[in-house]
Structure 1
């Protein structure tokens, strides 16, 4: 190269380098990794904010970890395990069932399915409370008064009940509104679980549905974890994730680099 052309060459290279988008190897790796499909147990692909198995935490939200080692994914909410039956990313709805009640309406340990509204989840509208009562007996006063009509809610069998005088019963909101209660019984234990409302209504019908089937049908939870920001990120061609340097904060991984919300946009929004 002629020496008199060297200054011009340097100027041209400087202009070219200024206009080349900066990109980090870490950003590109995260973009590539988060764009892959990640199966988890029997669910073929788990979307943001969920992560677990082979899907890295930075492709999800720290509070949405899934255990993928069993026959179905499992999520822990407020220290209680729930079996994940389905994930609907379009409606931000998770269908879950209490793990201890899966195929078992008489677990050895009883835990109420109550989820604090301050967490990332709230109950879906089609969720209903199902009360299960164990170790129940008809009160002695009513047993002595044969002229009294005893109203007993629907019974279900537990292997622990060896006597016909001891039984378990269930009460849904539909049954309670029709006048069925446990006012004529003494029960040693009870638990409040959540179930799908449509499935629970079958228990109050003339055919009297199966409690185990209702419990296995699960119930809906609506999640809120940067929903609006993630939609904006996906529309711009990016993949949603978590900023590794600021755990819990949203980041949009794009082909050139990461952005706060959307690819090629540096302004942040307050999506929920």
Structure 2
């Protein structure tokens, strides 16, 4: 009898301890997915506000956006690199999935570009409105076959840049860079007019993962990308998101010049 009076409380204590431990562990199973929380963060930099998927950067980790779509904030100015060309982001509209961008190199100096033509990764972006192709050619040898579209770059050295609509480089030039310009540009022999047109920028629309992300957000999740497969993934608070089945299509980098 004495033995029962000793062991019964121990059994009761052990029983209660097991229940306590199960209840203590339960919240860790139901706690929020940290990736879900991180991907709920939006990017804001200067005039660019509240930008999320498919971009990452700042307080949005890499897994929250496409690997090639990092937004970088420098001195409250947003930049993005597309096909090795750095662009300043002038405007961003998540509702229409558009960015207005301008080449960072030409915003500094019309005569010292990085020698890469403007091109888009067509798996990620498309042009949102029509533009003209403008070729700026450097190291040209003046000839009677070229119209007088020379823009002075350096009056001291006599350096010039030759401008023409289209994307073909004159054979008498060392290199040419193709940039999109508004259809309103007419005076391509004017340094100021060409510089202002390029500075105005152009609008691109991102197309990667748009439909999949819409499904994800409607199911209560946050969008991201899954590793090397570059496939849209849906991060949920606690459990796999219901009603989300991303398309089997996977995005792979592609390149297309203006045209």
Tell me whether the two structures share a fold, i.e. TM-score over 0.5: yes
Deviation per residue, 1:198-237 (Å, 9 max, x gap): 3xx2334999961111111122333222110111222333
Q: How far apart are the structure 1 equivalents of 2:32 and 2:169?
A: 61
Q: Provide closer, same or farther for how the CA distance between residues 220 and 152 of structure 1 changes in structure 2, counting only shifts above 3 A.
A: same
Counterpart CA distance in 1 for 2:110 and 2:44 is 29
Shift of the 55–157 alpha-carbon distance from structure 1 to 2, 3 Å rule, reads same
User: Tell me, what secondary structure is at the counterpart of 2:35?
Assistant: helix
**Hey, what does 1:146 align to over in structure 2?**
none
Question: 1:130-141 residue pairs with structure 2 within 5 A?
Answer: 130-136=134-140, 138-139=142-143
> What is the alpha-carbon distance in structure 1 between the residues aligned to residue 231 and residue 56 of structure 2?
15
Q: What's the counterpart of residue 195 of structure 1?
A: 180
Taking the aligned partners of 2:156 and 2:30, their CA distance within structure 1 comes to 65
CA contact (8 A) 1:127 1:194 kept: no
1:156 alignment counterpart: 151
Matches within 5 A, 1:199-210: 201-204=184-187, 210=193
The Cα shift of 1:99 comes to: 2.1
Q: 1:225-240 maps to which residues of 2 (within 5 A)?
A: 225-240=208-223
8 Å contact kept, 2:232–2:246: no
Q: 2:153 is paired with a residue of what secondary structure?
A: coil
- Compute the displacement of 1:150 (Å): 8.4
How many angstroms apart in 2 are the aligned matches of 1:182 and 1:252?
A: 46
- CA–CA separation in structure 1 for the residues paired with 2:206 and 2:113: 30
SS at match of 1:102: helix
* Distance in 2 separating the partners of 1:189 and 1:217: 27
1:247 CA displacement: 5.9
Pairing 1:248–2:226 present = no
Give the strand-richer structure, 1 or 2: 2
Query: Given the alignment, which residue of 119, 129, 135 partners 2:133?
Result: 129
Give structure 1 stretches of 5+ with no counterpart. Answer: 1-12, 143-148
Q: Which runs of 5+ in 2 are unaligned?
A: 1-18, 252-259
Scaled by the length of structure 1, what TM-score is found?
A: 0.66
Deviation at 1:85, TM superposition (A): 2.1
- Partner secondary structure for residue 73 of structure 1: strand
Q: CA RMSD in A?
A: 3.9
Within the alignment, does 1:120 sit opposite 2:124 as a pair? Answer: yes
Query: Which residue does 2:243 correspond to in 1?
Result: 265
Residue 87 to residue 192, structure 1, CA distance change in 2 (3 Å): same
